[in-house]
A = this chain, B = another copy of it.
Amino acid sequence: MGLAHQALSQEDVRSLKGDRGIGHVRYSTVGTSSAENAQPVVMSTNFGDIALAHNGEIVNAGRLREDLKKKGWAFATTSDSEIIIRLLANDIADTGDPARSIRNVMSLMNGSYSITLMVDDRVFAVRDPYGIRPLCIGRTKEGFAAASESVVFDTLGGEFMRDVEPGELVEILPGEVKSINTGLARGRAHCMFEWVYIARADSCLDGRLVYDVRRKIGRRLAIEQPVDVDVVVPVPDSGRSHSMGYAEQSGIPYSEGLMKNRYVERTFIMPEQTDRSTSVMLKLNPLKSVIKDKRIALVDDSIVRGTTMRKIVQLVRNAGAKEVHVRIGSPPIRTPCYFGIDMKTRDQFAATGRTVDQIAEMLTADSLGYISVEGLVEAIGHSANDLCLGCLTGEYPLPVEGEKIRFQKKLDSFT
């Protein structure tokens, strides 16, 4: 529990033996945040221990769990990972072949999953059939590794090799990374929100450096949603790269007008709504010399609930801004995410049931401009068909109960 350096002491790390392993840094989206749901989950089987770490969300996990309970299974945790490990152990008992059984269990799971796992001393990494969540492989002096973001390899003094393909299973071996075709690939549906907000700016995901994408989003936003202001001010740290692109394209001066308190963590991480809103004042401080008597373009990556942005607009206005115009590096989020981002209900979104003007009014902003879906897609540089835009369009790459599925035909052609 807690940040990695709190959960694992230097001594803990030093006491680790062996030459392979898996680990997980997670913020919980499914299953309660408790020690029993910490990852990796490890279970003992006839083929040795199986350990598994999972990023993403299995849409049909609840269904799978209920079906298995009806068969008489008892579950020790509420995590998807226990389901996966136990299905896997069951299947290996038949096949005797971990790789084949991983493929068999993948065919039962509907959802997003970038998984690293060990079966006894064998290390695997696997990405879901649409590649919704990122997963890549790299090389360090000590050997090969798989990770969600490429910056890991930079930090370790190693280098990024390539992304794991959708539906691809790889085995990390001492001298090589072996690719295993599962035959389950279903095209691409990379989550656009990784580039917009989640990933670190210096990561490269599916061929696109996050920083470059954000800067291009900013430039495109300046073209689509121009505004006559004196200064472009980013919401730190999430809106910084977008803002720079906006300033470059528009020629309007860029200036850091909101200072972050060094010792308060990112809003998204806090567990409860209350904490999120009340902490804005503690976290950001306006620079009057930048803001006072100026017309401001305030740039951020996205608006979910809108409560934080509303407070920031008021903060800027109270600091003496003449006008506050909000520009956002993603289109309005209107529909839930079922694939790993903690946005589960429609009624939480600022954009639900509001026009852009109404959202601007709610934010108390003088104007509000979102990038278009087309603009975002172009900035990312993948075809719209290769992205998951479910939270923007309400059309999802995978069947989700009660939601629309997109390009049904394409799916058929895959089967």
Interface residues of A (CB under 8 A from B): 3-5, 41, 43-46, 50, 66, 69-78, 82, 85-86, 88-94, 151, 154-155, 157, 200-202, 209, 211-212, 237, 240-241, 244, 248, 253-256, 259, 261-263, 265-266, 281-282, 285-290
Expressed in whole angstroms, the Cα–Cα distance for A259 and B71 within the complex equals 50
**CB contact under 8 A between A201 and B89, given known A46-B72, A76-B77, A94-B72:** no
**Nearest-Cβ distance from residue A42 to partner chain B, whole angstroms:** 8
Judge whether B261 and A211 touch: CB under 8 Å: no
Contact for A155 among B154, B253, B265, B285, CB less than 8 A = B285
Expressed in whole angstroms, the Cα–Cα distance for A3 and B264 within the complex equals 11
Most chain B beta-carbon neighbours within 10 Å: one of A72, A73, A75, A290? A72
**Nearest-Cβ distance from residue A282 to partner chain B, whole angstroms:** 6
Give chain B residues whose Cβ lies under 8 Å from the Cβ of A41: 76
Judge whether B155 and A43 touch: CB under 8 Å: no
Judge whether A72 and B90 touch: CB under 8 Å: yes
**Nearest-Cβ distance from residue A9 to partner chain B, whole angstroms:** 14
Judge whether A256 and B241 touch: CB under 8 Å: yes
* Copies of this subunit: 4
Judge whether B202 and A76 touch: CB under 8 Å: no
Give chain B residues whose Cβ lies under 8 Å from the Cβ of A202: 259, 285-287
11 A-B pairs within 8 Å (CB atoms) are namely A4-B263, A46-B66, A46-B69, A72-B91, A74-B89, A201-B259, A201-B287, A211-B287, A211-B289, A241-B256, A248-B253
Judge whether B43 and A75 touch: CB under 8 Å: yes
**Nearest-Cβ distance from residue A93 to partner chain B, whole angstroms:** 3
Expressed in whole angstroms, the Cα–Cα distance for A289 and B72 within the complex equals 49
Judge whether B155 and A261 touch: CB under 8 Å: yes
Expressed in whole angstroms, the Cα–Cα distance for A94 and B71 within the complex equals 9
**Nearest-Cβ distance from residue A90 to partner chain B, whole angstroms:** 4
Known pairs A237-B262, A244-B256 / 9 extra A-B pairs, C-beta < 8 Å? A4-B263, A50-B74, A69-B89, A73-B89, A154-B286, A155-B261, A201-B259, A202-B287, A244-B254
**CB contact under 8 A between A266 and B262, given known A70-B46, A154-B285:** yes
Expressed in whole angstroms, the Cα–Cα distance for A315 and B259 within the complex equals 27
Give chain B residues whose Cβ lies under 8 Å from the Cβ of A69: 44-46, 89
Give chain B residues whose Cβ lies under 8 Å from the Cβ of A261: 155
Give chain B residues whose Cβ lies under 8 Å from the Cβ of A74: 43-45, 50, 85-86, 88-89
Judge whether A72 and B92 touch: CB under 8 Å: yes
Expressed in whole angstroms, the Cα–Cα distance for A112 and B101 within the complex equals 38
